[in-house]
Structure 1
Amino acid sequence: MTSALTPDQISRVKATAPVFAEHGATITKHFYRRMFANRPELRNLFNQTHQESGSQADVLARAVYAYAANIDNLGALGSAVGRITHKHASLNIRPEHYPIVGENLLASVVEVLGDAVDAATLEAWRAAYAQLAQIMIGAEAKLYDNAAWSGYRPFIVSRKVVESDEITSFYLTPADGAQAAGFEPGQYVTVKRYVGELGVDQPRQYSLSDAPHGKWLRISVKREAGNEAVPAGRLSTLLHEGVEEGSIVEVTAPMGDFRLDRTKSTPVVLISGGVGITPMMSMLSTLAAEGSTRRVAFVHACRNGKVHAFKQWLAQTLATNANVSRAVFYEEVGATDRQGVDYDFEGRIDFSRIAEQAVLPDADYYLCGPMAFMQAQRDALVALGVDPARIHSEVFGSGALA
């Protein structure tokens, strides 16, 4: 067991929090370069696209700053620790990885800041990192103990279905013939593929897009085409172009703390943008399969009908579940898009237009989509008087909702 930090160590770590606010990204970028140079095999555990863009370094810098600033009140970190531990468990991060990270992170602090960090402060940070590692390892051990399986497991792509111009579904069945695992609606799995141009395996998280039923695990993947500023998605391209029915993919057990609370009977508002529809499908499909009578508002936004996936599924769900309503917004209505059939409103989501349907005082709100989209929806709901504690979101990329 790691001993508790001394008051002096706590004071030193807290006092250096502003240093990470100012220099954190420089330190963490140096850290990743250093660690991968010393331990190149660890590149298999990290999203190299996020490394290239620098977004992963930014996320780590913010996390280190938050930890330092709240070293005397770790409860203030809220759900952030839970979100990180679920992601770590999904990526198969193990206790033996923590000393490697700690060694390279502390060395990077010294190499970047130099004489600005004295020996006593560095030792305080060493103790603080050991404390954090102990917390994370303990939390992740519980997740591993309760997981359906350990590490990566081979699955067969039993079906591949094109859902829209951008999204394709992959039905994954265990290669050993066993039943597919149960999971909580809203959770995700990590899929790993070898990327030849990088020379390493690459993991990506994908929300499960169907109800848990033991037959298969379904992921529905948007092909990230890329543009001048952002490269095309390596894994999504490989899945769309290189993975056919009968292919084997490596998958970790379902994880994630973004999940539908099935113990409640109060209304549910599911709000998605683009491929963010996937965990909402799992949630709604689960409620429908259970015969739930909870009031459900399904609010979805996308560009137009060509990229609107699962229209038929939603129509069938509405037809057989009188407790479910929908509000679909198309930002750009196409010539063949039919109002009242394919979509309901033109433009972006506007809660003032659907307040009676989707702004409910005792509801829980679930958000998934691009970060800017989720932030806009959260801000709009809070402005309308919704308790922030009732707003839940899934974040796969960089950052967190404010």
Structure 2
Amino acid sequence: MHMTTTTCSWRPYRVALRTQECRGVISLYLEPTDGALPPAFAAGQYVELRMPGIEPHAFFLVGPSGDRLVRLTIEVGDEPFIGEVGRIAKLRIGDPVELSEPKGELAMEPGETPVVIMTEDIGCLVAHAFLAEMAEVEPMRNVRVLCQFPNGTRMLMREELRKLVDLMPNAGLAVFLVAPFSTDTAGKDYEVAGPITVENARSVCVNPDADFFVVGSRAFTEALRTDLVKLGIIHSRVHTQVL
């Protein structure tokens, strides 16, 4: 992620669990080894992970806050794993790492304002974090979540997102597959074939009172910000995070 690393304090953790989320993506569940609970964090925040021999790498926190384990869901690519992210991909249960305190200012203000979350690939982690928080404290809030993936093999967290959306009567989820495979079923695996664009998602982009959260590559975020503003959404209502 394109996050600025800063001087900070570090705490020791160990890998307690490792799971494969989908092709090229794993989750690490990390447990503090200093006897204290993990710190609380807000939806949309991230931590930096470091280990001997590699520079700190930033990863979004996957909620809910307050759990005994810290979950980091990481895009590691396909084997053979190489480079610094490749070393993180090879972590196994019991391996030690260090984490920074939670950071980041991509935050959703509480209130009744409608929310539209548009994500690309691993950016769906932010959608998950926001939904988990809203489902607990603002379950009646109007929210629409649009998640874009290359195809069904790279589709991340769809069922987890669906379960969170089902807890909120005024929420909706749409999965966009840029180039679905023949094995990807419309209406079951995804809702829209093609990328997220203002044109493809016009029905959720025309509310001038909504707050928009756009998370993905620079090209993805800049294109959507530009088109949303052209559509009449004021700049201050479009919040972006480049991965």
Aligned to 1:234: 83
In the alignment, does 2:171 pair up with 1:324? Answer: yes
In the alignment, does 2:103 pair up with 1:245? Answer: no
CA offset at residue 233 of structure 1?
Answer: 6.3
* Alignment check: 8 A CA contact 2:23 2:77 kept: no
Query: Residues 353-368 of structure 1: matches in 2 within 5 Å?
Result: 353-368=200-215
Aligned to 1:352: 199
CA offset at residue 389 of structure 1?
Answer: 0.7
* Alignment check: 8 A CA contact 2:214 2:240 kept: yes
CA offset at residue 335 of structure 1?
Answer: 2.0
User: Structure 2: any 5+ residue segments left out of the alignment?
Assistant: none
Q: Distance in 1 between matches of 2:15 and 2:74?
A: 13
SS in structure 2 at match of 1:313:
helix
Out of 7, 10, 13, the residue aligned to residue 152 of structure 1 is: 10
Q: Distance in 1 between matches of 2:138 and 2:235?
A: 28
In the alignment, does 2:17 pair up with 1:168? Answer: no
Out of 54, 61, 66, the residue aligned to residue 208 of structure 1 is: 61
* Larger strand fraction of residues: 2
User: Structure 1: any 5+ residue segments left out of the alignment?
Assistant: 1-46, 51-82, 93-149, 196-200, 227-231, 397-402
SS in structure 2 at match of 1:336:
coil
* Alignment check: 8 A CA contact 1:211 1:283 kept: no
CA distance 1:325–1:166, shift in 2 (3 Å)? same
Out of 269, 274, 284, the residue aligned to residue 121 of structure 2 is: 274
Structure label with greater radius of gyration: 1
* Alignment check: 8 A CA contact 1:304 1:331 kept: yes
**How many pairs are equivalent?**
242
* Alignment check: 8 A CA contact 2:139 2:168 kept: no
Q: Distance in 1 between matches of 2:51 and 2:39?
A: 21
Aligned to 2:228: 381
Residue type at the aligned position of 1:210: G
Q: Distance in 2 between matches of 1:283 and 1:353?
A: 23
In the alignment, does 2:103 pair up with 1:255? Answer: yes
Query: Residues 3-402 of structure 1: matches in 2 within 5 Å?
Result: 87-88=4-5, 91-92=6-7, 151-195=9-53, 201-224=54-77, 234-241=83-90, 243-261=91-109, 263-396=110-243
* Larger helix fraction of residues: 1
* Alignment check: 8 A CA contact 2:118 2:147 kept: yes
SS in structure 1 at match of 2:29:
strand
Q: Distance in 1 between matches of 2:69 and 2:206?
A: 34
Q: Distance in 2 between matches of 1:340 and 1:307?
A: 17
Residue type at the aligned position of 2:169: A
Q: Distance in 2 between matches of 1:359 and 1:205?
A: 33
CA offset at residue 249 of structure 1?
Answer: 1.0
Q: Distance in 2 between matches of 1:153 and 1:344?
A: 42
- TM superposition score normalised by structure 1: 0.57
Residue type at the aligned position of 2:75: K
**Structure showing greater relative contact order (alpha-carbon pairs closer than 8 Å, 6 or more residues apart):** 2
Residue type at the aligned position of 2:69: W
Q: Distance in 1 between matches of 2:28 and 2:126?
A: 15
Percent identity, aligned pairs only?
27
Residue type at the aligned position of 1:297: R
Q: What RMSD over aligned residues (CA atoms) do the two structures have, in Å?
A: 2.2
* Moved beyond 4 Å, runs of 4+: none
- TM superposition score normalised by structure 2: 0.91
Q: Distance in 2 between matches of 1:254 and 1:270?
A: 21
Q: Distance in 1 between matches of 2:216 and 2:171?
A: 21
CA offset at residue 217 of structure 1?
Answer: 2.0
* Alignment check: 8 A CA contact 1:191 1:203 kept: yes
Q: Distance in 2 between matches of 1:341 and 1:320?
A: 19
* Alignment check: 8 A CA contact 2:47 2:61 kept: yes
Residue type at the aligned position of 1:393: T
CA offset at residue 301 of structure 1?
Answer: 0.7
Residue type at the aligned position of 2:84: L
Residue type at the aligned position of 2:56: P
CA offset at residue 225 of structure 1?
Answer: 5.4
